[in-house]
């Protein structure tokens, strides 16, 4: 199915508005018979469900646990099997590194080696503050060094992002990381001919940096993984003829949104800030992606109760969404994060769509199991975008 091609042909620019509320990691598994969503008191989500059409969506396909990248791409109407986002680019987005068309980024670890053998892949998980100081020192060194522009960006503990800037760089590079300890330092290998020059450049950087750090302790080398360029995705404007904006408190989700051409705005750290900002910009766009992180963070922490609280907190703002009277209002998730698993999972997302043209299906409780009885059935999340566009009157007829 070439949905992108079909979308380009069928989509039309209309003033109708679409609100997509993503409660990250919403789906879960039961504790004492109830998931966090089932246990939560959600009068407003339930009231909305009663007027909506419901279903369950699989982010990629059944059984596949997606990262945040493919899970969001799919919701944004992009085939997650066709468009892949390197780990480097996602990490870079997460620390707010601007990645241009001539840049390559990789994520890195500060590490410890002894006579060329990696003895600690995380250099004892150095404190984040030390990481920041180290990056500053290295950046000063890199400025004085010959060769292409290279910049380090500190992350948490031992993690960082490195950006190489220059013409004709190629990201077809293997990881410069032995993956296990007590193995020798590893150089990157070019994965095709075009990447040879870039591999030499990266390896020379690795040697120079290791030389520069030789008397430092515990960090005396670095490991690099997930080399990636800025992916060239067609924009949502071009594909769907919409004016999209992202409301998200976390940099990675703003970054993901930018990759598909969404505008981004500054939003405060609280759930309430998302809805306050929506009020301010509501007239300026016609597609609103609103990202709630707390549900996923609680799931990742294995904290069932915190997840339930995050759901209940989000529920209190649903009336503010409903009051917008957007032509289409969808509440769903990018992927499930059961607190039982403390991680993303392959379980499907509860999904509800409210629109004048939606078939009410009698589901009056928004949850994983009630949505499985909905009129939309179980579907791949890439169909969320055609559904939203159709219900917003933005898709012409296919064929005569």
Angstrom CA distances, 29 to 101, 113, 263, stand at 41, 42, 34
Provide the 10 A C-beta neighbour count for residue 167.
Answer: 6
Q: Does 180 bind a copy of itself (CB under 8 A)?
A: no
Angstrom CA distances, 284 to 31, 245, 320, 323, stand at 43, 9, 18, 17
Q: Does 84 bind a copy of itself (CB under 8 A)?
A: yes
Site for a copy of itself in 211-240 (CB under 8 A): 226
Of 115, 373, 92, 396, nearest in space to 256 by CA:
92
Q: Does 31 bind a copy of itself (CB under 8 A)?
A: no
Nearer to a copy of itself, 221 or 286 (CB): 286
Kindly tell me the burial class for residue 310, based on how many C-beta atoms sit within 10 Å of its own C-beta (0-12, 13-18, 19 or more).
buried
The helix/strand/coil state of 194 is helix
Out of 101, 167, 180, 397, the residue judged to bind a copy of itself by CB under 8 A: 397
Alpha carbon distance 70, 74 (integer Å): 6
Q: Give least dist CB 20 to a copy of itself, A.
A: 14
Strand partners, 190: 173
Nearer to a copy of itself, 103 or 361 (CB): 361
Q: Provide the mask over 312-341, with x wherever binding to a copy of itself is found by CB under 8 A and - wherever it is not.
A: --------------------------x-xx
Q: Give least dist CB 84 to a copy of itself, A.
A: 6
- Residue labelled with tokens 């030389």: 211
Q: Does 14 bind a copy of itself (CB under 8 A)?
A: no
Q: Give least dist CB 393 to a copy of itself, A.
A: 9
- Residue labelled with tokens 């509320």: 21
Q: Does 378 bind a copy of itself (CB under 8 A)?
A: yes
Out of 13, 41, 62, 127, the residue judged to bind a copy of itself by CB under 8 A: 62
Q: Does 368 bind a copy of itself (CB under 8 A)?
A: yes
Is residue 17 within 8 A of residue 325, CB to CB? The reply is: no
Cis peptide before 218 (omega within 30 of 0): yes
Q: Does 369 bind a copy of itself (CB under 8 A)?
A: yes
Out of 19, 40, 45, 60, the residue judged to bind a copy of itself by CB under 8 A: 60
Instruction: Report how many residues bind a copy of itself under the rule CB under 8 A.
Output: 64
Q: Does 61 bind a copy of itself (CB under 8 A)?
A: yes
Angstrom CA distances, 88 to 72, 106, 193, 197, stand at 17, 4, 21, 19
Nearer to a copy of itself, 269 or 398 (CB): 398
Site residues for a copy of itself per CB under 8 A: 1-3, 6, 10, 29-30, 56, 60-70, 80-81, 84-87, 90-91, 226, 338, 340-341, 343-347, 357, 359-362, 368-369, 372-379, 383, 385-390, 395-400
């Amino acid at each position: 199915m070439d949905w992108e091609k079909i979308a380009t042909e069928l989509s039309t620019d209309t003033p109708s508005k679409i609100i997509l509320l993503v409660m990250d990691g919403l789906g879960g598994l039961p504790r004492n018979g109830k998931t966090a969503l089932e246990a939560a008191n959600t009068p407003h989500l339930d009231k909305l469900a009663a007027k909506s059409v419901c279903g369950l969506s699989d982010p990629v396909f059944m059984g596949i646990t997606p990262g945040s990248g493919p899970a969001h791409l799919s919701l944004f109407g992009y085939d997650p099997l066709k468009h892949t986002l390197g780990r480097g680019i996602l990490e870079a987005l997460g620390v707010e590194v601007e990645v241009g068309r001539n840049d390559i980024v990789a994520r890195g670890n500060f590490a410890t080696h002894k006579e060329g053998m990696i003895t600690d892949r995380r250099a004892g998980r150095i404190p984040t503050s030390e990481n920041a100081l180290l990056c500053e020192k290295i950046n000063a060194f890199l400025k004085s060094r010959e060769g292409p522009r290279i910049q380090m960006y500190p992350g948490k503990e031992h993690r960082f992002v490195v950006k190489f800037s220059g013409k004709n760089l190629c990201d077809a590079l293997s990881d410069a990381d032995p993956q296990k300890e007590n193995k020798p330092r590893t150089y990157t290998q070019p994965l095709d001919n075009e990447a040879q020059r870039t591999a030499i450049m990266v390896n020379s950087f690795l040697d120079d940096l290791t030389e520069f750090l030789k008397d430092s302790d515990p960090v005396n080398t670095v490991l690099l993984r997930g080399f990636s360029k800025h992916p060239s995705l067609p924009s949502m404007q071009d594909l769907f003829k919409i004016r999209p904006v992202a409301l998200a408190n976390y940099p990675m989700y703003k970054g993901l949104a930018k990759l598909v051409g969404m505008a981004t705005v500054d939003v405060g750290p609280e759930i309430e800030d998302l809805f306050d900002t929506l009020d301010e910009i509501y007239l300026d766009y016609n597609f609103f992606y609103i990202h709630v992180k707390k549900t996923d963070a609680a799931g990742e922490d294995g904290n069932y109760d915190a997840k339930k609280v995050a759901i209940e907190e989000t529920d209190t703002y649903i009336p503010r969404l409903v009051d917008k009277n957007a032509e289409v209002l969808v509440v769903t998730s990018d992927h499930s994060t059961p607190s039982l698993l403390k991680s993303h999972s392959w379980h499907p997302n509860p999904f509800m769509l409210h629109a004048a043209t939606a078939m009410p299906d009698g589901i009056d409780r928004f949850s994983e199991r009630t949505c499985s009885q909905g009129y939309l059935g179980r579907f791949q999340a890439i169909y969320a975008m055609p559904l939203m566009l159709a219900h917003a009157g933005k898709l012409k007829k296919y064929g005569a």
